[in-house]
Structure 1
Amino acid sequence: MPRPTLILLCGLPGSGKTTLAKHLARVVPAVRLCPDILEYGFWDRRERDENRLTARALGVAVELHHLTASLDELGARIESRTAEGRWGSVPVTRDLLEEYAEQFEAPEADELDLFDRPPAERDAQGPSGKG
């Protein structure tokens, strides 16, 4: 039986967290908890540290996936999903996105080193499953 793993997805709106979460739910297999539970972006290190330490205390591996894109790309993705009327999509203005970007604390190398690496076969696959 594979070791239980908590997979945290970290990024601003439009960075691809939902796309990656859906992909991982298929290939791991995994239970996807979203958006108001765990898939809200883990915007600061304190939140990420708390989740990592709690999971480790339970003997659970913990992965952190930091997803990023330019503000222009994030804005375009948000506009697209809002226009499509996707379930759960929330309109985010450019001003709000810029405000979020200022609040977001991206993980640095020293923090990323505290997390487990995904298995090599899964690490090579992107959300499309093609790598």
Structure 2
Amino acid sequence: MATLHLMVGLPGSGKTTRAKEMEEALPAIRLTPDEWHLRLFGQDIEHPQHDMRHDTIEALLWELAERILTQGVDVILDFGFWSRFERDDFRRRAAQLGASTVVHYLPTRMEEILSRLAARNAADTFRVSDEMMLKWSEMFEPPTDDELAA
């Protein structure tokens, strides 16, 4: 049976680094929307259509993930999954395909996230301001113990 791995956390929390490690160790197919977004649209986080573009990429990656899971191969979705509702939705989707789901969450202090973002902002990735990150952190719902145990 294939497993859907949900990478949960804010930008800079270590999701993609961990997802890359898992991709090699499992093996699994890793789908990271930011990588696709940057290749297609570049650094457009301030663009009015950024969120719509990102949502479209995530929808396309899910369609790909569905096909991969039904072939019995593990998939790592590096989407962030900020809300319990979203995580529950993807667990339900995986179950409908006959796949199991594992939630991966790396609790990371905000000071560490902001430090990592400063380094990332200097590289070729989405530039996220401290103000934006602090706003996003208020929207983030960390997974509960029962989600992590399931």
The TM-score bracket by the shorter chain reads 0.7 to 0.9
Gaps of 5+ in 1: 115-131
Aligned mate of 1:30, from 28, 34, 40 = 28
Q: More helix by proportion, 1 or 2?
A: 2
- Residue identity matched to 1:41: G
TM-score normalized with structure 2 length? 0.68
Report the counterpart of residue 7 of structure 2 in structure 1: 9
Partner of 1:98: 134
Q: Secondary structure at the match of 1:32?
A: strand
Match of 1:65, SS? strand
Match of 2:114 in 1: 75
Cα pair 2:6 2:79 within 8 Å, conserved? no
CA distance in 2, matches of 1:24, 1:111: 20
**Larger relative contact order, structure 1 or 2 (CA cutoff 8 Å, min sep 6):** 2
Q: Secondary structure at the match of 2:98?
A: coil
Q: Which of 84, 98, 104 in structure 2 is aligned with 1:65?
A: 104
CA RMSD of superposed structures (Å): 1.3
Query: Within 1, Cα distance between the matches of 2:128 and 2:115?
Result: 11
Q: What is the alpha-carbon distance in structure 2 between the residues aligned to residue 96 and residue 6 of structure 1? A: 29
- 2:49 is equivalent to residue 51 of structure 1: no
Percent identity for Structure 1 against Structure 2: 41
- Structure 2 residue aligned with 1:21: 19
Given that residues 12 and 68 in structure 1 are in contact (C-alpha distance below 8 angstroms), is that contact kept between their aligned partners in structure 2?
Answer: no
- Distance in 2 (CA, whole Å) between partners of 1:90 and 1:33 is 17
Distance, in Å, in 2 between the alignment partners of 1:110 and 1:29 is 26
Query: Between Structure 1 and Structure 2, which shows a larger proportion of strand residues?
Result: 2
Distance 1:55 1:40 in 2: 15
1:108 partner amino acid: T
For residues 16 and 52 of structure 1, the distance between their equivalents in structure 2, rounded to whole angstroms, comes to 22
Using structure 1 for the length normalisation, give the TM-score.
0.77
Counterpart Cα distance in 1 of 2:107 and 2:11: 9
| Match in the other structure for 2:148 | 112
Runs of 4+ residues deviating >4 angstroms: none
